[in-house]
Structure 1
Amino acid sequence: MSDGPAKPEPEHQPELVKKLLAYKERHLEHGRIYRGAFVLAGVIVTLMGLAMLLLPGPAFLVIPIGLAILALEFAWAESLLEKALVQGEKAKQKAAETSTRQRILTGIATALAVAATITAAFVWDIPFLPV
């Protein structure tokens, strides 16, 4: 019977996780108030990132930062951060492996979406700037 998913071997861990584990030892030497403030900051940053999933903002940058802060105190946050970084690397690799045809079609689709948005703004008289 296993205790959950197997953790990646240390040589397969993302570089950020390795650095975080090295810093974690020093972090745990601080006092309760300092560590409590760190947890509070991590929760606030993570919640801001989650809000940015619905609101404009760099959610996919802010959420891992919040998880990295929380990972200094909690194993579950470290695990989530590691999974997010691994998935991010996979997405980066997959994007790099796209064909020229896929890139051209994506560019055309983006241009059409922008053109449709501008056309809709003119047709339905949507102001570009709030009045």
Structure 2
Amino acid sequence: MTVDLHTSPSGEQTGWRAFRARLAGRPTLNLVYRTAVAVAGLVVLAVGILAIPYPGPGWAIVFAGLGILATEFAWARRVLGWLREKYRQGMAWYRARGPVLRVVTAIATVVVVVATVWVLGTFGIVGSWIGVEWQWLRSPLKW
């Protein structure tokens, strides 16, 4: 015998499914809700995509954004499944390449991070905090 955690013993939907069923019965409210989920999911997804090259949880944020979108959109569920599989394949390929590729990738990541931090002016800001005003620390962009 299987137990459905989303229905009560009397057969009624409970929890999240009941909430979504009530929303689905009100088209305007349903549209507002789906729009809010779309906006939130796309914002989280965009932040994750921007964070991918940097140390930290870039891919986790991408998956979270797609997970948010997948709660309401079938296309996002398909993309999430496809991306998970591609991520697994990519990481398996990366691990199989050996230490030379890992070192080259680590160096490239450090270069991207340092260049971005420099362009955004972080070195100049931190330098000014400690009294170092070297010209080359300043961003090439004139903020």
Q: TM-score, normalised by structure 2?
A: 0.47
Distance 2:58 2:108 in 1: 24
Distance 1:44 1:83 in 2: 22
Structure whose alpha-carbon radius of gyration is higher: 2
Cα 1:70/1:55, change in 2 over 3 Å: closer
Name the amino acid aligned to 2:71: L
- Post-superposition offset of 1:87: 1.3
Distance 1:54 1:107 in 2: 18
- Matched-pair contact (CA < 8 Å) for 1:42–1:67: no
Unaligned 5+ segments in structure 2 are 7-12, 118-122, 124-133
Distance 1:66 1:108 in 2: 28
Distance 2:105 2:73 in 1: 40
| Percent identical | 24
Cα 1:38/1:64, change in 2 over 3 Å: farther
Are residue 46 (structure 1) and residue 41 (structure 2) matched? yes
Distance 1:97 1:125 in 2: 39
Residue 124 of structure 1: which of 124, 133, 136 is its match? 136
Cα 1:83/1:74, change in 2 over 3 Å: same
Q: TM-score, normalised by structure 1?
A: 0.50
Cα 1:60/1:45, change in 2 over 3 Å: farther
Distance 1:90 1:96 in 2: 10
Distance 2:76 2:93 in 1: 25
Look up the SS of the partner of 1:73 in the other structure.
Answer: coil
Unaligned 5+ segments in structure 1 are 1-21
- Matched-pair contact (CA < 8 Å) for 2:38–2:69: yes
- Please give the root-mean-square deviation of Cα atoms over the aligned residues, in Å: 4.4
Matches within 5 A, 1:3-22: none
- Post-superposition offset of 1:109: 5.0
